[in-house]
């Protein structure tokens, strides 16, 4: 028999299908197919998405016979935790897989006023950015919507407080896996109840996919990893710039703003004497002027590349920031967390650094829309 939900789920170890990733409607449909009343689907959704429960045993309002029947063919989460580290500043980094050894990472980030998490959209990444540990490791596969949402639920389970914010800044390029990422965003919003404004998707700038998202018009935050306003610098950092240069990708972001009303977020990586020059600060200010935006400065987290990149001094970061602020740009600065467990952006490389097949041609990108 053709599995009903094969587009949304993956079979996990033991051949059972995971339920995380199914909407309430799909769970109702599944339960009806099993000869159960559809409302059981809603009850299961409440346990999975409302209470972050990950075993059928705990679903106390289901009859024991149904719990046993479900456990024979299904599992709640597709994820197996293979490593869990907690940093001295309270960041949890989890390394997970599906029983198949293809590991990926997610990070829990408690702040004073909120708890955020950083999740992966792919195992590895094919984009080959020259400063990024994930990119250096190559690409394995896209994650399903269930595998994406399951990372959030796993982190919610270990968090003392409600995890209210999600950023897609873990492993992978979310817009190469747009179909599953959008489905995951819907579950995070519609079923788990997170605010669109607290969901942020960071992209390297896959222009046709930005345009598709503009058409969809969902009001989550779209963040562009710009890293330089100059094509010659950006192309050295990010091969994607050869396909969609700065003016093209910024044009797509501005259209997105006009359609959704959401301000543009620009992620800006500061690499010492490379992307952190005063000329680039001035050009960046011009690029965003006239569009409601925020520039998030990210001082380079050290990754051993062959290019000798290093982190700028606090004085250089301040000088760059001053130029932007003097021109009226809203600026935030990323504080590195989880340093002792390598949990920061760009350091999520799993345990398989260099193992994946490297894809060099952008024409081969495994885009799903």
Options 31-39, 100-108, 127-135, 211-219: segment touching ligand SF4 (CB under 6 A): 127-135
Is 267 a residue of the active site?
no
Binding residues for ligand SAH restricted to 57-76, rule: CB under 6 A = none
Q: Does residue 269 touch ligand SAH according to CB under 6 A?
A: yes
Catalytic residue among 105, 147, 173, 191: 105
Q: Does residue 144 touch ligand SF4 according to CB under 6 A?
A: no
DSSP of 73-99: HEES---EEEEEEE-TTS-EEEEEESS
With respect to ligand SF4, which residue has the nearer C-beta, 132 or 324? 132
Residue with token string 């109840």? 193
> Which residues neighbour 364 within 8 Å (Cβ) at sequence distance 6 or greater?
126
Return the percent helix, strand and coil in the chain, to nearest 5.
40, 20, 40
Q: Does residue 180 touch ligand SAH according to CB under 6 A?
A: no
Question: Residue 303 touches which of ligand SF4, ligand SAH, none (CB < 5 to 8 A by kind)?
Answer: ligand SAH
Interhelix angle 178-186/145-158, nearest 10 degrees: 40
Q: Does residue 132 touch ligand SF4 according to CB under 6 A?
A: yes
Binding residues for ligand SAH restricted to 185-224, rule: CB under 6 A = 202-204
With respect to ligand SF4, which residue has the nearer C-beta, 226 or 281? 226
Residue 344 Cβ vs ligand SF4, minimum distance, rounded to whole Å: 12
Q: How far apart are CA 335 and CA 298, in angstroms?
A: 8
Residue 297 Cβ vs ligand SAH, minimum distance, rounded to whole Å: 10
Q: What Rg do the C-alpha atoms of the chain give, in angstroms?
A: 21
The binder of ligand SAH chosen from 19, 22, 76, 132 (CB under 6 A): 132
Options 2-10, 99-107, 191-199, 298-306: segment touching ligand SAH (CB under 6 A): 298-306
With respect to ligand SF4, which residue has the nearer C-beta, 127 or 149? 127
Long-range contacts of 288-292 (CB under 8 A, 24+ apart): 288/264, 288/329, 289/327, 289/328, 289/329, 291/253, 291/254, 291/257, 291/263, 291/264, 292/257, 292/263, 292/264
The binder of ligand SF4 chosen from 18, 44, 125, 317 (CB under 6 A): 125
Q: Does residue 267 touch ligand SAH according to CB under 6 A?
A: yes
Q: How far apart are CA 42 and CA 21, in angstroms?
A: 14
Q: What are the residue ranges of helices labelled H in the chain?
A: 24-33, 39-45, 51, 64-73, 133-136, 145-158, 178-186, 207-216, 231-237, 240-243, 246-260, 278-288, 314-326
Q: Which residues are catalytic?
A: 105, 345
Rule CB under 6 A: which residues touch ligand SF4? 125, 127, 129, 132, 134-135, 172-173, 204
Rule CB under 6 A: which residues touch ligand SAH? 131-132, 169, 173, 202-204, 225, 267, 269, 298, 300-301, 303, 345-346
């Amino acid at each position: 028999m053709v599995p009903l939900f094969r587009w949304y789920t993956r079979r996990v170890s033991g051949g059972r299908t995971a339920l995380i990733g199914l909407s309430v409607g799909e769970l109702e449909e599944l339960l009806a197919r099993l000869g159960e009343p559809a409302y059981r689907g809603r009850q299961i959704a409440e346990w999975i998405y409302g209470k972050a429960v990950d075993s059928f045993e705990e679903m106390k309002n289901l009859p024991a016979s149904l719990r046993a029947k479900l456990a024979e063919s299904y599992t709640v989460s597709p994820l197996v935790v293979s490593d869990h580290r907690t940093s001295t500043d309270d960041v949890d980094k989890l390394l997970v897989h599906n029983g198949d050894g293809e590991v990926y990472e997610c990070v829990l980030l408690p702040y004073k006023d909120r708890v955020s998490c950083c999740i992966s959209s792919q195992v590895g990444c094919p984009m080959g950015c020259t400063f990024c540990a994930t990119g250096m490791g190559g690409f394995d596969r896209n994650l399903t919507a269930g595998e994406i949402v399951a990372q959030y639920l796993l982190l919610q389970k270990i968090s003392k407080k409600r995890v209210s914010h999600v950023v897609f800044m873990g492993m992978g390029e979310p817009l190469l896996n747009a179909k599953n990422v959008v489905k995951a965003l819907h579950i995070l919003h519609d079923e788990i109840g997170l605010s669109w404004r607290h969901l942020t998707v960071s992209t390297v700038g896959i222009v046709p996919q930005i345009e598709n998202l503009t058409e969809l018009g969902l009001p989550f935050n779209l963040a562009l990893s710009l890293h330089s306003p100059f094509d010659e610098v950006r192309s050295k950092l990010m091969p994607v710039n050869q396909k969609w240069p700065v003016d093209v990708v910024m044009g797509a972001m501005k259209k997105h703003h006009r359609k959704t009303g959401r301000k543009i977020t620009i992620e800006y990586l500061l690499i010492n004497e490379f992307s952190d020059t005063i000329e680039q600060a001035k050009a960046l200010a011009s690029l965003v002027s006239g569009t409601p935006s925020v520039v998030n400065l990210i001082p380079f987290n050290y990754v051993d590349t062959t290019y000798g990149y290093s982190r700028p001094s606090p004085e250089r970061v301040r000088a760059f920031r001053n130029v932007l602020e003097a021109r009226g740009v809203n600026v935030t600065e990323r504080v590195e967390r989880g340093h002792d467990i390598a949990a920061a952006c760009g350091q999520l490389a799993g345990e398989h650094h260099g193992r994946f097949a490297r894809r060099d041609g952008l024409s081969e990108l495994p885009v799903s829309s």
